[in-house]
Amino acid sequence: MHITRLRQPVTRSTLVELSGKSQPTVTRAVTALIDAKLVRERPDLSTPSGPGRPTIPIELDQSPWVQVGIAVGTKSTYIGAYNTRGQALREQFVEVSPAHMSPSDFVGAIAPHVQALSQATNLPLASIGMATSGHVSREGLVTASNLGWERIDIGSHLRSRFSAPLTITSVITAIAGAEQQLQSPEKTNTVLLFYVDDSNGAAVLTPEGVVRLDVANTDSQTTLGSIAVALAKETTPSTIVLAGSAFANPKDARSVALAIKSSRNRDVELRVIPTHLDNARAAARAVALDRLINDPLGLSKRMESVLENA
């Protein structure tokens, strides 16, 4: 499904080539995704391939449900409703300061907006994802000084209001995940994400997955450049992504980029995610689609059961 999303319309032979799976395995997988109404055949785009049946490509089907992603900020929280193609159907910022209220009141403030955006799509809600500044433990406990949270189980408050499956992760891991969701499986590029905003951090994306790297707090552009250089030397990435408000000013982003390029990393590809909205969208989309990308058939079976019992 991931390859189909990136390459659609795509043939089964291309799926075999890019996934490294056998023809029978790919055929079974495609059939299961068609039965789940997640992908569909496009016979109108078929091409003859010698004797026998023509080659019929597939693409993602019309979205059967909606996923909601939440990116929590210091003074405002972004909420986006996404279809299975990753397109934003509805989005808004909610002006709310988590540090000035209890976690329960914060969830109470954003829950009506999550519900309203979901209902406005006229699609059933399949999953919810939340990306937050700070650190998220393996148990889902959030520690973020800018939010006033110290090992807060924000997931329990969300689960008390929504029955949909929930994913919670740090904004740094989420944006790195967004890069992963854009990368074709056959690529083996290493991507370094350097994030400086309400919280600072880094993550490295390899073919094996995403690994979070801790970074000391700083507001000095000279220091940012030296930290970026050290991270690049440690991870030897082919691509470096600079994200967060620290890079919203092109001059500041260029100074860090120059430091990286001057440290024998001239061939590295550099990209910037400059605006608050761009960062919030990337993080929210990634956590919103997490369940779908990791277990599309499992999510489909759950939604089938939910709709049957509705």
Q: Which domain holds residue 47?
A: 2-60
- Residue that is last in its domain, among 60, 80, 97: 60
pLDDT in tens, 12-60: 999 999 988 999 999 999 999 999 999 999 999 887 665 656 689 999 9
Q: Quickly tell me which residue has 């092109």 as its tokens.
A: 250
pLDDT in tens, 237-271: 999 999 998 898 999 899 999 999 888 777 889 99
Query: Has residue 300 been placed in a domain?
Result: yes
Q: What's the structural domain count of the chain?
A: 3
**Average pLDDT value over all residues in the chain:** 90
Is 264 found in the same domain as 290?
Answer: no
Check which CATH number belongs to the domain holding 170 and give it: 3.30.420.40
Query: Has residue 204 been placed in a domain?
Result: yes
Is 95 found in the same domain as 54?
Answer: no
pLDDT in tens, 109-125: 999 999 999 999 999 99
Is 24 found in the same domain as 71?
Answer: no
Is 29 found in the same domain as 71?
Answer: no
The pLDDT of residue 209 is 83
Query: Has residue 157 been placed in a domain?
Result: yes
- Residue that is last in its domain, among 16, 44, 60: 60
Check which CATH number belongs to the domain holding 54 and give it: 1.10.10.10
Q: Spell out the long-range contacts of 85-93 with Cβ–Cβ below 8 A and sequence spacing 24 or more.
A: 85/5, 85/60, 86/5, 86/181, 86/285, 86/289, 88/281, 88/285, 89/120, 89/121, 89/123, 90/117, 90/120, 90/121, 91/117, 91/281, 92/117, 93/280
Is 190 found in the same domain as 167?
Answer: no
Query: Has residue 179 been placed in a domain?
Result: no
Is 36 found in the same domain as 108?
Answer: no
Indicate the pTM of the whole model: 0.90
* CB contact at 8 A, 16 and 26: yes
Is 40 found in the same domain as 56?
Answer: yes
Query: Has residue 121 been placed in a domain?
Result: yes
Query: Has residue 180 been placed in a domain?
Result: no
Closest to 256 (Cα-Cα) out of 282, 228, 284, 230: 228
Is 78 found in the same domain as 46?
Answer: no
Query: Has residue 181 been placed in a domain?
Result: no
* CB contact at 8 A, 220 and 251: no
- Residue that is last in its domain, among 38, 60, 82: 60
Is 147 found in the same domain as 245?
Answer: no
Q: Has residue 91 got a pLDDT over 60?
A: yes
Is 286 found in the same domain as 166?
Answer: yes
Task: Identify the residue with better confidence: 263 or 186.
Answer: 263
Could you tell me whether strands 149-152 and 142-144 are parallel, antiparallel, or unpaired per DSSP bridges? antiparallel
* Mean predicted confidence (pLDDT) in 268-294: 92
Is 216 found in the same domain as 153?
Answer: no
Check which CATH number belongs to the domain holding 238 and give it: 3.30.420.60
Confidence class for position 219, pLDDT limits 50, 70, 90: low
Is 305 found in the same domain as 219?
Answer: no
pLDDT in tens, 142-176: 999 999 999 999 999 999 999 999 999 999 999 99
